[in-house]
Structure 1
Amino acid sequence: MKISPIQRIPTHIISGFLGAGKTTLLKSLLTQKPENEVWAVVMNEFGQIGVDQLLLVNEDGYAIRELLGGCLCCSSQLSMQVTLSRLLSDTKPHRIFIEPTGLGHPAQIIEQLTEPHWQTRLDVRSPVTVVDGSRLHESEWVQQNLYQDQLKAAQIIVVSHQDLMNEQDINSLELLKVEYQAYAQEWLMASQGNIQLQDIDFSFKGTQRKIQPLLSIQKTFASDQIVPEIKQLPYHYIETAQGYSVAGWKFSKRLQFHFYDVLDLLCEQQDWLRIKAIFYTDQGWKAFNFNPEQFNYQTTDESIDNRVEIIYRGERDWSEFEAQLLSYQISKS
């Protein structure tokens, strides 16, 4: 007797900042369900009272589940594991859509769903992030760390509310595409959330990313030792995709740096495509946003950490840069 292999279920993650239009996009996609299939939706809301589920018609052929009171990538990880397991066994869906809260970090959800435990059950498709095109001109909106993290995690970015975009929004969109070109993304314009499933139904291609100790710490390892992957601060990471690389560092928010020394260090760098950073300095929290045409920096709200990212091509040794940056600390705590 020949046993057929288990069919992996296409699974879509649709993220986006608060009010970006995730549910509108989801409703449009659900209208494309073939009559002979069962589709499932897992919706995550940060509060304890579910609202989004009421916006979707729960008809035959749909299975809708909600996870309340937290983010799928943080406090609700176990709940998501249980919910997905029950969904697969009880409903046996042909396709799954997961909509995290607008306060969620989709990269962590993707990491969970691509673990060996799920790889034989789920076929994770290209992660989608929805952005509100009519708010691209609001610098305080697009410069939030969470907003940027959601963009980086996406392979497909759907721009909503295009009918409300002004000239400044359109120009900001073009700059945004250049800024995130290292992440090899597809950009789609949506009218009333109308996107065809075939436009987002591609296999997930994870960006190669190495999160390791700071370069100064790596030098303490013997040549035959494997440098471990870590997740706690501080750390250094390299991401590569489509011939581009992103070198990044993250430090505790408790560390404070000399503002003018950091500014000079960033300005001295050469042969880069983009530099973005946020630091707690002796002049307060400062955000830096450099492109080859202009060097911008401004006072900003307190961040969850100190961080810097540099987009470039080719190979580069960042040891000297890191050593200089560390020498500009005011506090060591």
Structure 2
Amino acid sequence: MKFISPKAVPTHIISGFLGAGKTTLLQHLLAQKPEHEVWAILMNEFGQIGVDQQLITKQDGYTVKELLGGCLCCSSQLPMQIALARLLSETKPDRLFIEPTGLGHPTQLLEQLTEPHWQSSLEMRALVIVIDGSRLHDEDWVQQNLYTDQLKAAQIVVLSHIDRMTEADQQAYLALKQEYKTYVQHWIEAEHGRVELGQLDFIQQPLQRKIQPLLRLQKTQLGDAAEQEIKQLPYHYIETAQGFTVAGWKFSKRWQFKFYDLLDLLCAQQDWVRIKGIFNTDQGWKSFNFNPKQFNYKSAEASIDNRIEIICQVQQDWFEFEKQLLACRLDEVS
């Protein structure tokens, strides 16, 4: 199904973790609609009962449509494609806002909406992630994989609930900005969700991440096979942003690694900015959080996978690192 429009519609994804304040932000943005324009909103509820739509005050000039059940980021694309095409054709909006569920992965949604199918219909604006400033002190909260994945997808971060932030939250915010400076271009501190539309109205930069087989597997492939992107584990990716390179690997959670061999390997790395990972080891699940001043590791809850990311500003031999990383495996369970 392809929607034909005389002009591409400026489209904003407003994402963020559960309870971050996405709907409050959206309410303030909608209040800035020029009288002569028509705006549309596509909201995604994970459950079967819509609530957010009821929180958006009804008024002339914009239409709200909810997509219930599942996550439009990662479930079947067909319901989202149909709902979005219908919303565009019925309302012919001048601007579109999409609010995914807080349980979603916005990168996957952005990948869908930047496919050639939609390029004549949608002009994607910078992906916005809303985070709750009053919860930044909660280490267990901010280190959840879904939370960190959303931050890595962000071009703009809106900090909400700033009036409730403690000194610990403020310190955590400064550390967060430093940690994600390779990803986020704009940080906005929003009092009660008040943000000017102009602060968000930037063109989305092209996605530069390519998920590929492990480097050692690519050595055995011929022709274009190594260029094919994959979705299943194990895989690696390398992306660049703002002069930094981020290299990451993900493996099945059933893979187990030798803890001390893994620790020795990570401590031996050079010329990096940040190393973060979580692994199933012979000493239990362990998380690693290295910066040039501190090498921190500790016991952790079981993760959905083994994963590691290394951020650096100089060229590295990633094939050699992967070879040494795989040598730390304790078993051969796939």
TM-score (norm 2): 0.96
Deviation for aligned residue 1:185: 2.2
Deviation for aligned residue 1:205: 0.1
Report the AA paired with residue 71 of structure 1.
C
Measured in 2, the distance between the counterparts of 1:315 and 1:190 equals 38
Partner residue in 2 for 1:167:
167
The 5 Å alignment of 1:167-186 reads 167-186=167-186
Deviation for aligned residue 1:226: 5.2
Partner residue in 2 for 1:252:
252
Report the AA paired with residue 104 of structure 2.
G
Partner residue in 2 for 1:281:
281
Report the AA paired with residue 140 of structure 1.
D
Partner residue in 2 for 1:292:
292
Deviation for aligned residue 1:209: 1.6
Measured in 2, the distance between the counterparts of 1:54 and 1:225 equals 49
Measured in 1, the distance between the counterparts of 2:76 and 2:224 equals 39
Q: Secondary structure at the match of 1:141?
A: helix
Partner residue in 1 for 2:219:
219
Distance 1:18 1:224, change over 3 A: closer
Deviation for aligned residue 1:222: 4.3
The 5 Å alignment of 1:140-155 reads 140-155=140-155
Distance 1:149 1:224, change over 3 A: closer
1:87-138 deviation line (CA, Å, top 9, x unaligned): 1111111111000000000000000000000000000100000000111111
Asked whether the equivalents of residues 212 and 227 of structure 1 are also in contact (C-alpha less than 8 Å), the reply is yes
Structure 1 runs (4+) deviating above 6 angstroms are none
Deviation for aligned residue 1:210: 2.2
Partner residue in 1 for 2:312:
312
Partner residue in 1 for 2:156:
156
Q: Does 1:113 find its partner at 2:96?
A: no
What residue ranges of structure 2 are gaps of 5+ in the alignment? Answer: none
Q: Percent identity?
A: 65
Q: Secondary structure at the match of 1:103?
A: coil
Measured in 2, the distance between the counterparts of 1:226 and 1:329 equals 24
Distance 1:225 1:84, change over 3 A: closer
Q: Does 1:83 find its partner at 2:100?
A: no
The 5 Å alignment of 1:189-268 reads 189-222=189-222, 227-268=227-268
Asked whether the equivalents of residues 252 and 305 of structure 2 are also in contact (C-alpha less than 8 Å), the reply is yes
Distance 1:223 1:86, change over 3 A: closer
Deviation for aligned residue 1:287: 1.2
Deviation for aligned residue 1:228: 2.3
Report the AA paired with residue 26 of structure 1.
L
Partner residue in 1 for 2:328:
328
Deviation for aligned residue 1:321: 1.3
The 5 Å alignment of 1:48-63 reads 48-63=48-63
Asked whether the equivalents of residues 236 and 248 of structure 2 are also in contact (C-alpha less than 8 Å), the reply is yes
Q: Secondary structure at the match of 1:216?
A: helix
Asked whether the equivalents of residues 289 and 296 of structure 1 are also in contact (C-alpha less than 8 Å), the reply is yes
Deviation for aligned residue 1:254: 1.1
Measured in 2, the distance between the counterparts of 1:59 and 1:76 equals 32
What residue ranges of structure 1 are gaps of 5+ in the alignment? Answer: none
Q: Does 1:32 find its partner at 2:32?
A: yes
Report the AA paired with residue 19 of structure 2.
G
Measured in 2, the distance between the counterparts of 1:294 and 1:38 equals 52
Deviation for aligned residue 1:314: 2.7
Deviation for aligned residue 1:217: 1.0
Report the AA paired with residue 9 of structure 2.
I
Deviation for aligned residue 1:221: 3.1
Distance 1:293 1:73, change over 3 A: same
Deviation for aligned residue 1:38: 0.8
Asked whether the equivalents of residues 246 and 310 of structure 1 are also in contact (C-alpha less than 8 Å), the reply is yes
Deviation for aligned residue 1:225: 6.7
Instruction: Report which stretch shifted further, 215-224 or 144-153.
Output: 215-224
Deviation for aligned residue 1:5: 7.8
Distance 1:200 1:145, change over 3 A: same
How many matched pairs? Answer: 330
Q: Secondary structure at the match of 2:104?
A: coil
Measured in 2, the distance between the counterparts of 1:187 and 1:109 equals 22
Deviation for aligned residue 1:141: 0.5
Asked whether the equivalents of residues 273 and 310 of structure 1 are also in contact (C-alpha less than 8 Å), the reply is yes
1:134-154 deviation line (CA, Å, top 9, x unaligned): 111111001000000100111
Deviation for aligned residue 1:206: 2.3
Report the AA paired with residue 303 of structure 1.
S
TM-score (norm 1): 0.96
Q: Secondary structure at the match of 2:192?
A: coil
Measured in 2, the distance between the counterparts of 1:227 and 1:5 equals 33
Partner residue in 2 for 1:131:
131
